[in-house]
Chain A
């Protein structure tokens, strides 16, 4: 149980385009989802916290207008990278906590974004 999926797993796009990444909890209701980015050989950096039905909370230094987060249901959160640039190329990982069990996060497999 407690499976989180991400789609797509890889995406290559041209500079200036927007890319949407989906994060789904497959077998549980995720009250909170988190979005991280990870550069090669580095740790995960939290970008934002997404609660179902409310606005996302962004970490300091993360542009909310550039990284749009929508958590429309208890099983789906989306991250849209708007007007992507090469410096946005990274590995994006989402995670989710199950209702009532906030100590453990379940991570998706990640999405590799390459902006040309």
Chain B
């Protein structure tokens, strides 16, 4: 089964609007990470939220984590055309409280920000 499923699959907004993407996962986790991928490029690590955290901020990014619902959300405020990319959530395996780096990625949300 897929660990880390996101919705929406695609999101199209105007510059200046906020963009919210959601991620659900199935097993218990130590942390959840969000990555951005520009078309045809590698991934850029955006933010990591640990299982004992509920919310985390980084610049225009706000991530929430609800372990009871096994879900996370990524909010990008005041979006810019340069935010156009695919966004993925990813989770490492939960094994005795230690994460081994191996990540399982969600299907991703394709965000398009129109200028």
Contact = CB atoms under 8 A, between A and B. Distances in A.
A102 B101 contact: yes
Contact of A49 (B31, B99, B102): B102
B48 A95 contact: no
Identify the 3 closest CB pairs spanning chains A and B, nearest first: A107-B42, A107-B43, A102-B101
A106 B33 CA distance: 12
A102 B103 contact: no
B25 interface: no
Given A105-B45, A106-B45, A46 B103 contact: yes
Contacts, number: 56
Interface of B: 31, 33, 35, 40-45, 48, 88, 92, 99-108, 110
B48 A93 contact: no
Interface of A: 4, 6, 32, 34, 41-46, 49, 91, 93, 95, 97, 102-110, 112
Contacts of B100: 32, 102
A46 B92 CA distance: 12
A97 B100 CA distance: 10
Given A43-B88, A43-B108, A104-B33, A34 B101 contact: yes
